[in-house]
Amino acid sequence: MPMRTSERARALIQKYEGLRLTSYRDAVGVWTIGYGRAATGGFDVRPNMKITKQQAEQFLIEDLQIYERGVERAIGREIPQLCFDACVSLAYNIGVGAFAKSSVCREIKRRRMQTAATKFGLWVKAGGRTLRGLVRRRAEEAALFLEGANGDTSDDVIVRVPLDQPRGKAPAASTTNIAAGVSAVAGVTAAGREIVDNTSTMMQAAPWIVVCVVIAAATWWIWRERNRKSREDGI
């Protein structure tokens, strides 16, 4: 049976789209009316067009069905209700085509639901400008998605971060983290030298040297594994 948007998601969409009974130009100049029905969606929205609240409610019902089916086709599998709700809200705002090509949809297809939630934060611009309203909307959608994803045991990778940041270096690949790993090994090496300096013979120092080498190797391995994991999760 086709999935339907819950009342909770419908309220979220109404909240951020707002109700306008006279047509207007949105943030990128597209004629829009009702609860965000835009001319770019193939709808007949013209300048100076007027509708009633009842018509706006009916438009929303009709439009949601379009976006619901679009999200289902894009994802290609059943997902938790709240995750579906968040995706429909996102698609309603950016369009089904953009959603289907988004990293949100791509991560869902990979069954990386927790990671998918972090990708909502990439969609906060309109006309090349970051809009505070979109930042708030994406944060609420991501929170809704995470609430659903927390009950989804099919995740391959679990990361618990609220929102994604613009693409760039993976966190662990930064110079700060590299320096931290190098400093840790250097600290163990320095401690080994001090032990040797304070030990009267090389035979007495040998066991301590072995210990220091083992600790240094373990420290480096742990840092390397964290670096690798962070790179994987920082896609």
Residues acting as catalytic residues: 17
> Minimal CA–CA distance to 35: which of 49, 52, 14, 54?
14
Write out the two tokens for 170: 């993976």
Distance CA(168)–CA(101), nearest Å, equals: 20
Write out the two tokens for 203: 């035979």
Write out the two tokens for 124: 């906060």
CB 51, CB 34: distance < 8 Å: yes
Distance CA(115)–CA(121), nearest Å, equals: 11
Write out the two tokens for 151: 């009950």
Cβ neighbours of 129 (radius 10 Å)? 10
